[in-house]
């Protein structure tokens, strides 16, 4: 039985129109479980959120491209992800979860299927920091293919991790604004660490998960100043995403139409929006 809630059945249509080629740089596909079973030993069981529902949402929002991130509940079985990428006709790219058993041939197969990054979870509720040897093993496999890393971590971890990350031979992306807490303010250590990534050439930040940094009450307006500050600090290394279907949300379930409008509130400059929504994903993920 699912132990987390489904996304809203009928999210609103955004008031604002996304630019052509706009990319949702962080979303997930779950199941369907009778076709793509969830992993044994998973930390949560979601309700199905299949490719068809994701594609319908993106059409509703005006999203033309997306980055589908392999979910913890599917573990290292990437069949649901690869199916979604294949069915997108090149409009979607993928982010894999790789471990000690990852091989050069397996990574090559993922690359041919449209995967362009590997993700590591550092947060406690998804198992905590990875084994350093496994981390190094995966980096060695993916760097020759021009991939990058997506890092799901707490922003407070950044000062300790940054020397190692800055020495990596590939770019890295901090997901969900480092899961900082808006209540701690723009001058918090976590936010200062994120803004400091502007000085690290291979560092990127996703301004996704605004609901996760806010109080949990829609429309999550207290997150807007953080999105604005990060977009202005890293205009060429910032990405935006919905985080649909919003697994393990503790507060209000986000309305994805509202999330689009909140991004426009946070980023009123059309040229900057074009970079974050279109140009930056093209450059990092290799969209045509």
Active site residues: 243
What is the distance between the alpha carbons of residues 203 and 166, in angstroms, rounded to a whole number? Answer: 8
Q: How many CA atoms lie within 13 A of 126 on its CB side?
A: 20
Strand arrangement of the beta sheet that strand 65-69 belongs to: 23-27, 65-69, 92-96, 115-121, 148-152, 172-174, 203-206, 238-239
Q: How many CA atoms lie within 13 A of 121 on its CB side?
A: 17
Tell me which H or E stretch contains 134. helix 132-142
CB-neighbour burial class of residue 220 (10 A; exposed 0-12, middle 13-18, buried 19+): buried
Tokens matching residue 70 = 């392999």
CA 198 distance to own-chain centroid: 19
């Amino acid at each position: 039985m699912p132990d987390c809630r489904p996304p809203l059945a009928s999210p609103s249509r955004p008031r604002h129109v996304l630019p052509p080629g706009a990319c949702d740089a962080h979303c997930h596909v779950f199941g369907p479980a009778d076709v793509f079973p969830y992993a044994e030993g998973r930390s949560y069981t979601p309700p199905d959120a299949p490719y068809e529902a994701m594609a319908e949402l993106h059409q509703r929002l005006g999203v033309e491209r997306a980055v589908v991130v392999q979910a913890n509940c599917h573990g290292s079985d990437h069949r649901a992800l690869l199916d979604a990428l294949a069915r997108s006709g090149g409009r979607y790219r993928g982010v894999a979860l790789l471990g000690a058993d990852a091989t050069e041939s397996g990574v090559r197969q993922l690359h041919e299927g449209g995967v362009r990054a590997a993700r590591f979870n550092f947060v406690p509720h998804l198992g905590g920091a990875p084994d350093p040897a496994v981390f190094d093993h995966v980096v060695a496999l993916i760097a020759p293919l021009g991939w990058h890393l997506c890092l799901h971590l707490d922003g407070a971890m950044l000062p300790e991790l940054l020397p190692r990350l800055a020495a990596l031979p590939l770019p890295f992306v901090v997901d969900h604004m480092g899961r900082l807490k808006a209540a701690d303010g723009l001058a918090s250590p976590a936010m200062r660490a994120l803004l400091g990534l502007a000085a690290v050439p291979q560092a990127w930040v996703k301004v996704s998960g605004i609901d996760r940094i806010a109080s949990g009450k829609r429309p999550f307006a207290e997150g807007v100043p953080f999105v604005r500050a990060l977009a202005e600090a890293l205009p060429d290394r910032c990405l935006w995403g919905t985080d649909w279907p919003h697994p393990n949300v503790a507060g209000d379930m986000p309305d994805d139409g509202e999330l689009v409008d909140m991004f426009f509130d946070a980023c009123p400059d059309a040229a900057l929006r074009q970079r974050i929504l279109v140009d930056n994903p093209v450059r990092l993920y290799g969209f045509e």
